[in-house]
Amino acid sequence: MIQEQLQQLITKALDKVLPATDQSGLTDLSIDIETPNNPEHGDFSSNVALVLGGLLDQPPRQLAETIADNIPDTLLIKRVEVAGPGFINFYMSPIWLQEVLEQCLTAREQYGCSDYGAGQKVQVEFVSANPVGPIHIGNARGGPFGDALANLLAATGYDVQREYYVNDGPENTQLKLFGASVQARYLQELDIPAELPEDGYQADYVVELARQLVQQDGDAHTDVPTDDSGALYFFSLVKEWMVQRLHEDCAAMGIQFDRWFRETELYEQDAVRQEVDKLLQSGAAYQKDGAVWLGATEFGDDEDRVLVRRTGSPTYIASDLAYAVDKFVKRGFDKVIYVWGPDHAGYVARLQAALAAIGVQPGQAEFIIYQTVRFLEGGQPLALSKRRGNIITIQQIIDDIGRDATRFFFLMRSVDAHLDFDLDLARQHGEENPVYYVQYAHARICSIHHEATQRGFEILPLDEVDLSLLTHPDELTLLRKIADYPQLIQRAALDRAPHRLPHFAYELAQSFHQFYTTCRVLDADQPALSQARLKLVQGTQIVLQNLLGLLGLLGLLGITAPKEM
């Protein structure tokens, strides 16, 4: 990308000006190439002299002059200026944008991709909702986010795997509660008196599960004891239905996991017990009050944590540790990104400490906590409570406003921010809805191509088209947008910030609409210009498609917007 080329030019200049020792504190990051807010300050700008001046205790302005004077001549750059406290500003010659367009048209679906990750094995684990109910609006946000993040990492050269962790372990108390709820509903369905446990699952789908069970097995399970073993038994009866439902919900969101990892696998291999034993041997864990404790404070946690209860059954930390060993040691991931809901925020420090205890290096495990989503309808937030039973499933939302609009709205905001999901806005197919604004730009692009074919415009190969004819301000703005795309991908991946993509898609659509209004593409009187503009349109389409591909929104491009206004 162009920023890298400029960085290399600066590096060359530095090599001529400064002894290598003076460059020791310099990293790629300190040679920052950015786009100035004020266009008068050039097309690109570098703060290298300001950073280096501070490091070497030299006047930045003077240093900047020296560096600027030694930047090798190239056709891409018209002139270099030093400004302000010591910025080096680059004024590009017009051909740089033509080169970018050529790169884009040549690379096509690879445009914007890089090998930055150098094939490192990264796992993104996300959603991982317990198999006790469908995906609902409280836990769905991690889905589109994790999926888009995985796409971004793959596009920047990482070897990415998507994983869903199914918490179906035999020691999971949530499952017992859920199983007991199913059991109670099952008995009620057969007119046998039974009470839903306190804090049990009240939602309607539990009643439906019970009904399904009666339909399948009749009264075959009435003699099952109403204790933990009975609860687990009932869970086992409905488990595959639940997992199947989770599969369907994720598929509905457009997510394909590479692996559904089941917690039971860890117990079948006796991995949980083995890990606890290892920790006891290494001294990282100890016995107290009949329980086994992890000495988590040694590894930065606030307090030590129980690994094995007094009853002898392991806690979730124990199985999460065994799971981590499976990820890092057995399967050899260089990095694992855990995407969790806000209710898990307090668990980060705990697992981090536990990971340190098994020798996972800091930075190998990343934790991304997404914030809550409020769904608004008529300006009022929808209330949801899993326990009280008035849950709203992600399937309902998708049925309502469509998969792509759902994903777009989820992805629009930073995961750090609380998200207001405006259902009324998402339902609209009008100008207020950013989804259709972007979609409309693509529809227009397709229409131009269609029209070109209809009118018999011959599409010339790239080397026969004079791109230097693209000089209109709106053409240049659009070209600049195409040029900015690779760095956007790079930074969004690095910052784990997929939300920048919908914003960029909107801006790209905006630049295109503006171009479309002022610059007629197909003009029989100006065939050479038409050819150049067709290339620009094609470049826009490539970027738009790549962008929406990363967001998992290619469906938007397949749907043709209505012809009626």
Applying CB under 7 A, among 71, 80, 89, 206 the residue interacting with RNA is 89
User: Sign of dihedral through CA atoms 16, 18, 23, 26?
Assistant: negative
Which of 334, 474 has the CB closer to RNA? 474
CA pair distance 404, 419, nearest whole angstrom = 17
Residues 6+ apart with CB under 8 A from 493: 116, 152, 153, 155, 156
Applying CB under 7 A, among 9, 43, 45, 200 the residue interacting with RNA is 45
> With CB under 7 A, what is the number of residues at the site for RNA?
94
Which of 17, 306 has the CB closer to RNA? 306
First to last CA, the chain: 40
Applying CB under 7 A, among 499, 538, 540, 553 the residue interacting with RNA is 499
Stretch that binds RNA, among 93-101, 242-250, 265-273, 423-431 (CB under 7 A): 423-431
Minimum separation from the CB atom of position 401 to RNA (A): 13
Which residue is listed with tokens 């969101």? 253
CA pair distance 449, 436, nearest whole angstrom = 20
Contact (Cβ atoms closer than 8 angstroms) between residue 291 and residue 309: yes
Tokens of 321: 């540790």
Based on the shown chain and the rule CB under 7 A, indicate whether residue 522 belongs to the binding site for RNA: yes
Per-residue H/E/C for 23-75: HCCCCCCCCCEECCCCHHHCCEEECHHHHHHHHHCCCHHHHHHHHHHCCCCCC
Minimum separation from the CB atom of position 5 to RNA (A): 17
Binding mask 303-322 for RNA (x = CB under 7 A): --xx--xxx---xxx-----
CA pair distance 397, 462, nearest whole angstrom = 44
Residues numbered 441-460 forming contacts with RNA, rule: CB under 7 A = 443-444, 446-448, 450-451
Q: Nearest 5°: CA angle at 530, between 431 and 528? A: 160
Applying CB under 7 A, among 24, 28, 39, 383 the residue interacting with RNA is 39
Residues numbered 167-196 forming contacts with RNA, rule: CB under 7 A = 167, 171-174
Which of 332, 362 has the CB closer to RNA? 362
Stretch that binds RNA, among 4-12, 118-126, 399-407, 498-506 (CB under 7 A): 498-506
Q: Nearest 5°: CA angle at 153, between 152 and 154? A: 90
Binding mask 274-303 for RNA (x = CB under 7 A): ---------------xxx----------x-
CB neighbour class for 475 (10 Å; exposed up to 12, middle 13-18, buried from 19): buried
Minimum separation from the CB atom of position 286 to RNA (A): 12
Length of the chain measured in residues: 565
Minimum separation from the CB atom of position 525 to RNA (A): 9
Minimum separation from the CB atom of position 222 to RNA (A): 27
Based on the shown chain and the rule CB under 7 A, indicate whether residue 34 belongs to the binding site for RNA: yes
Applying CB under 7 A, among 1, 10, 26, 47 the residue interacting with RNA is 47
